[in-house]
Structure 1
């Protein structure tokens, strides 16, 4: 379903881009909003815990290192949007199309597997995380009303259902090009809850809690954790920070919303620089100030680490911001998947009215409401299935971590660097070639250790897992 106030005339060539599609209208502002919405997820809330595992020195270095890596690879992808010429070449509207046109069909299949598996996993994770914030609000209000000793155990399943219903409605937004307003709202929300967490951290630090202990190397072996726990936690922390910056699975689709003048690659580089700079600023503050506030006992979610008690209203506002942000971020990650399935269906059955026909319903003072039955049914079924999976496996965030570990290397590093080397025709064993190959090897190692840490987390969750257990 989409709201449209103007009918485009196919006789007006100014309404269409060089590939025959409706002219794109995105700018660096909308692209930056998409990036911030995609990158600053609820993962920001776990950064204080991640820094606690690594310590001041390594934690700070890792935060800045993956910021730089993400910026480098996103600029490489921006240059590959048009191929072979960066300015006048043929458009690559999706990540898979880009890989296919530059590296070939076999590699594009691996790209599709990594990208779409991760997109599905992330939408499941957002459903779970959104419900957790709803539960936190209900608990905070319960403790405030009935006292800190009250039994405020709450099931998250009803909230997952509410989150899913909202996504069924929003999933009828036709495509990425119509998503700018939602991304801008979601980006503002991410600033909101990150700022609340930062403010509470500063207040806690100023309060002078002398029981907080921090260290250059984080948790102390033999005091805070065992040597084995330190190893697993370090793996998970590095993975959490690496994946917190990752938005490669939607970067090409974001760039495809930009108007063609000025050149898309130049605008996308600007948007990536702005989006990643904003992200790094907030990540550093949340991670480092959160660690300073909580020390080696930093919780997995530093916003709820301030308790469900007072100021309960401020924590409530923070969680409301998280929910609104996740509602928008869900769509940023789901739209490429929706588009892929719908394009496949249209190509497979081009004569099918079920696939292609749109029904127009004019709504007074609003515009034309366009309904395609396949889109309506397919997107609704997808959200329902994702919501059911989230209900059955509420520990799925560790599974999402594993999916992120597996897809981080190919999507964020391998494909961007390989396409860049081919596009620029870099000489084998040249400084640029060697540098990018070393970057690939390093990030492959990061993916492997993060995958090991995620598997250990999944095994631990399965030992205590009970189906439909309330929180």
Structure 2
């Protein structure tokens, strides 16, 4: 048992005598949770509406007017449905009064056990590392886009305006080193709300600029029911690979199951966490789907089959340059918050395991109270400072080595979508509800699971092919955009 929980449990037993336990602690002996529908929805929107929305016009261009929106809506429905299954798994054996599980691995351990716990941990934490690397890349691209936008405005749209992104990755990493000292998920609400506002802002700007472009005089672009045309825009092989990659991009655009349990663990116990989490998932997924469909379809209508991979940083728009600058600043601020939403579960996992492994180490367990101007008292933990700083530096270095946007997004989406968003929630639902093998419900759940596996495999193949192509043509010491 972790020292912190032992201390809480002792405190609870003393409080029981005075009848004040309900005021200070939850049923598991931990400090009273204060999360609400608003904070949970903010966490979800921060996690879901991210850099993925900027590539949706490109994804729709690869798939066309029919398959593009259909794939978007399909991923939306699947994500919401499986998130409700996962929300019911937070407590075990029952979703209302069972024992709490604090992490995704704990949930899998309670319902499935065995080697699946290890597989879940590998999938979840590898995904979280990948997402933080991807966000470092995307945030730096947005920062570079501000400089390039001003350069184009001053020197004309044909100017080279080549600016390296490495300095901006370093700036992003320095900011994350500071924010990573926020102790845990429970202290992140303000940052998630800010990030959610930023995500709505830049998505709305992109949508507004696309509408203005579509409505502009002399606007003529080529769009088709099936997307880019073989033999005209791309070769047959490119069409296949790009379609696979587009599916991966869309899968990434809905990925938040990796942090769902950790978000749910911040909620008050009344009303039941599972009910609040389902409402938050519905609010988050439906809101983001509306933005995704609008940004993807109107972005495709604005740019046609030549849609850029990122229509705010890929300079589908040049003017008004100040609005483009503001949108890219919003992207960077949003990704600063989203980085923390995705890395906090990883931080918590490593720190909890180290505390269990070395409970007597003062370096790991001791905290030192510090007075921070305007913020009150901050408890400094040296292990947290060193480990989290090292993590941010390592992810920044990896981002510098692999600065590829679309392909990286697709690979992360393909790798995480099936195991974390589909497979484990379905398997845990079957185990929790004791659904009979070969019953109607069991069969259609298995069909859904296997279908999503196939989709994830083809998306991963497309992304790997795209990454291989980019690596061949990449010069590591040249400036990149």
Q: Does the pair score TM above 0.5?
A: yes
Alpha-carbon distance in 2 for matches of 1:403, 1:312: 31
1:223 aligned counterpart, secondary structure:
coil
CA RMSD, Structure 1 to Structure 2 (Å): 1.6
Structure 1 residue runs without a partner (length 5+):
1-7
1:362 aligned counterpart, secondary structure:
strand
Shift of 1:225: 1.3
Tell me what 1:106 maps to.
115
Query: Which of the numbers 48, 63, 73 marks the counterpart of 2:72?
Result: 63
Alpha-carbon distance in 1 for matches of 2:418, 2:369: 44
- Contact 1:358/1:371 (8 A) holds in 2: yes
1:17 aligned counterpart, secondary structure:
coil
Tell me what 1:3 maps to.
none
Query: Which of the numbers 194, 199, 222 marks the counterpart of 1:185?
Result: 194
- Contact 2:52/2:409 (8 A) holds in 1: no
Shift of 1:313: 0.6
TM-score, normalisation: structure 2: 0.94
Describe how 1:92-171 pairs up with structure 2 within 5 A. 92-171=101-180
Describe how 1:220-369 pairs up with structure 2 within 5 A. 220-307=229-316, 309-363=318-372, 366-369=375-378
- State yes or no: 1:375 paired with 2:384: yes
Inter-CA distance 304–209: structure 2 relative to 1 (3 Å threshold): farther
Most deviating of 236-245 and 143-152 = 143-152
- Contact 1:111/1:410 (8 A) holds in 2: yes
- Contact 1:392/1:468 (8 A) holds in 2: no
Inter-CA distance 327–366: structure 2 relative to 1 (3 Å threshold): closer
Tell me what 2:215 maps to.
206
Alpha-carbon distance in 1 for matches of 2:314, 2:415: 30
Write the deviation string for residues 146-199 of structure 1: whole angstroms up to 9, x where unpaired: 333444211100000000000000000000000010000000101001000110
Tell me what 2:3 maps to.
none
1:218 aligned counterpart, secondary structure:
coil
Alpha-carbon distance in 1 for matches of 2:57, 2:308: 7
Tell me what 2:460 maps to.
451
Alpha-carbon distance in 1 for matches of 2:412, 2:276: 30
Most deviating of 151-160 and 140-149 = 140-149
Alpha-carbon distance in 2 for matches of 1:396, 1:40: 16
Q: How many residues align?
A: 464
Write the deviation string for residues 299-334 of structure 1: whole angstroms up to 9, x where unpaired: 111224554632111111110110000000000000
- State yes or no: 1:197 paired with 2:206: yes
Shift of 1:106: 1.2
1:347 aligned counterpart, secondary structure:
helix
Shift of 1:102: 0.6
Shift of 1:349: 0.7
Query: Which of the numbers 430, 436, 441 marks the counterpart of 1:432?
Result: 441
Shift of 1:282: 0.3
Shift of 1:239: 1.5
Alpha-carbon distance in 1 for matches of 2:228, 2:409: 25
1:212 aligned counterpart, secondary structure:
coil
Query: Which of the numbers 76, 86, 91 marks the counterpart of 2:85?
Result: 76
Alpha-carbon distance in 2 for matches of 1:235, 1:140: 31
Write the deviation string for residues 418-467 of structure 1: whole angstroms up to 9, x where unpaired: 00011111122222111110100110011110111011111101111111
- Contact 1:35/1:272 (8 A) holds in 2: yes
Shift of 1:381: 0.8
Alpha-carbon distance in 2 for matches of 1:103, 1:86: 15
- Contact 1:118/1:400 (8 A) holds in 2: no
- Contact 1:117/1:403 (8 A) holds in 2: no
Shift of 1:143: 2.0
TM-score, normalisation: structure 1: 0.96
- Contact 2:248/2:409 (8 A) holds in 1: no
Inter-CA distance 151–306: structure 2 relative to 1 (3 Å threshold): closer
2:460 aligned counterpart, secondary structure:
helix
1:413 aligned counterpart, secondary structure:
helix
Alpha-carbon distance in 2 for matches of 1:282, 1:255: 24
- Contact 2:141/2:313 (8 A) holds in 1: no
- Contact 2:307/2:316 (8 A) holds in 1: no
